[in-house]
Amino acid sequence: MAKQSAPVKKNQTVTLTFEDLTHEGNGVGKINGYPLFVPYALPGEVGDVKVVKVKKNFGFGKLLDLHTSSPERVEPPCDVFYKCGGCQLQHMSYDAQLTMKQDQVRNTLKKIAHLEHVQVHPTIGMKDPWRYRNKVQMPVGAKADGELITGFYQKRSHRIIEGMETCIIQDEENDRMVEAVRRIADRLGITAYDEETDQGVLRHIMVRTGEETNDAMIILVTRTQKLPHRDELVKELTGTYPHIKSIVHNINDKQTNVILGKKTEIVWGDAYIYDKIGDVTFAISPQSFYQVNPKQTKVLYEKAMEYAQISSTDTVVDAYCGIGTISLFLAQQAKQVYGVEVVPEAVEDAKKNATLNGITNAAFYVGEAEKVMSWWTAQGMRPDVIVVDPPRKGCDEELLKAMTDMQPERIVYVSCNPSTLARDLRILEDSGYEVKEVQPVDMFPQTMHVECVSWLEKRT
């Protein structure tokens, strides 16, 4: 076939009808089958687009004007939505976001796994889809006169958005704490870290809060080994805000995008704050992984529990268990739970959380889940139920094999990536398991992310 060139040129203006949204949240419109990806355009809309980038098989455009706008288009409530890259969907009604996520899961299962008839339920959304994040990591910069500023980076850059006073998907208290630290640090003359020159002090202000307990942990990340004016900072913060339970200094002296450095020191108060999901209490340390939307995490885990249908005689494996969040939920009903996770610190936290809750029937192991599960299989372990919650890249093939070799009655697959979920469900279907239902849960409103719980049964 002769090589075809793109039907558009850079800087050309074209009129497009938008059909779809990409996984990044860009509208998709086509010219003679050639797709153009256009930020902020919604399916069903017609508009003028300036072509800004032309590649062989696709291009990018900028929305200039709308001829027909979608009934689902809403005014984004955040002042900096069009500058910031954090949210992608504030210009879409929440109901439409939920439907779009359900469709996305359904279509992905169809396309990748050929699962046409599996029931994909309507996405479970939040009553109030704002202010849900319990952890903020805010970069610190400075104005020309040196005054400290905080704000997220502009899209595809490391320039801080000036005048960003609030982030409306953050817990309100987190917002207030970031501003309090900024104000006090500025008054004390603490300088901002400058990425370009690798000079200055304060890099990030991080705040974590316990949804149930309202405890707050403040983490100050500096380039320098010393935290200047440390005692004054502590005195002002703790004197004014009694819900602060912990102040932590983290040192990151590397020229890097990674936020936290290796060295952490408790400057004041406790090494942990606590939060509760359902009846289980979790200790959260500065570095430990903890779900950022605790309300929806409860919804997600309850669904996983419902699908798992565990009885008091059951042995359960929780692969990719992190700090044991799902394992400890499962342990309330099971005879014995085995969790496996690759990060040693997370496993330490999981054990600590089990003790904290008086749970004695959950054991945790460090290792690659695929290796440990293969070994368990060889040792003859035959769990009744397996729960997996892998990272975005999905399950390792060796793990899928170990899982089906163990022949559990039921598998519950929690996933944050519909594409790898679909790939893995196909393999499990071909290895004797039937996908019964998939439930999308909206853990990250206003963004393109979607989480799913899937239920599989062994075929008889």
Binding-site positions for S-adenosyl-L-methionine read 291, 320, 341, 389
275 binds ligand SAH (CB under 6 A): no
Which tokens sit at 177? 């704490």
Using CB atoms within 10 Å of the CB of residue 257, give its burial: 0 to 12 exposed, 13 to 18 middle, 19+ buried.
exposed
Residues numbered 32-91 forming contacts with ligand SAH, rule: CB under 6 A: none
Query: How many residues interact with ligand SAH (rule CB under 6 A)?
Result: 18
The nearer residue to ligand SAH, 26 or 209, going by C-beta atoms, is: 209
322 binds ligand SAH (CB under 6 A): yes
Minimal distance, residue 296 CB to ligand SAH, in Å: 12
Contacts of 46 (CB under 8 A, 6+ apart): 15, 16, 17, 18, 66, 67, 68
Q: What angle separates helix 172-187 from helix 230-240, to the nearest 10 degrees?
A: 140
Cα–Cα distance for residue pair 230/137, rounded to 1 Å: 20
CB 203 within 8 Å of CB 256 = no
The nearer residue to ligand SAH, 171 or 341, going by C-beta atoms, is: 341
Residues numbered 354-373 forming contacts with ligand SAH, rule: CB under 6 A: 368-370
Please provide residue 347's backbone torsions phi and psi, each rounded to the nearest 5 degrees: -65, -40
Residues numbered 373-432 forming contacts with ligand SAH, rule: CB under 6 A: 389-391
The nearer residue to ligand SAH, 191 or 325, going by C-beta atoms, is: 325
> How many C-beta atoms lie closer than 10 Å to residue 6's C-beta?
17
The nearer residue to ligand SAH, 88 or 291, going by C-beta atoms, is: 291
329 binds ligand SAH (CB under 6 A): no
344 binds ligand SAH (CB under 6 A): no
The nearer residue to ligand SAH, 92 or 350, going by C-beta atoms, is: 350
Minimal distance, residue 435 CB to ligand SAH, in Å: 20
Contacts of 348 (CB under 8 A, 6+ apart): none
Minimal distance, residue 385 CB to ligand SAH, in Å: 15
Cα–Cα distance for residue pair 138/74, rounded to 1 Å: 27
Q: Mark whether 78 is an active-site residue.
A: no
345 binds ligand SAH (CB under 6 A): no
> Of residues 346, 402, 406, 453, which one binds ligand SAH by CB under 6 A?
346
321 binds ligand SAH (CB under 6 A): yes
Which tokens sit at 378? 């060889």
Using CB atoms within 10 Å of the CB of residue 361, give its burial: 0 to 12 exposed, 13 to 18 middle, 19+ buried.
middle
| Sheet containing strand 263-269, strands side by side | 148-150, 135-142, 202-209, 216-222, 244-251, 263-269
Cα–Cα distance for residue pair 446/444, rounded to 1 Å: 7
> Of residues 6, 266, 342, 359, which one binds ligand SAH by CB under 6 A?
342
| Single-letter code of the amino acid located at 66 | L
Percentages of the chain per state (helix, strand, coil), in multiples of 5 = 25, 30, 45
The nearer residue to ligand SAH, 224 or 293, going by C-beta atoms, is: 293
Select from 150-158, 338-346, 355-363, 445-453 the region that touches ligand SAH (CB under 6 A): 338-346
Annotated binding-site positions: 291, 320, 341, 389
294 binds ligand SAH (CB under 6 A): no
Minimal distance, residue 334 CB to ligand SAH, in Å: 16
Active site residues per annotation? 416
Q: Which residues bind ligand SAH (CB under 6 A)?
A: 289, 291, 320-322, 325-326, 340-343, 346, 368-370, 389-391
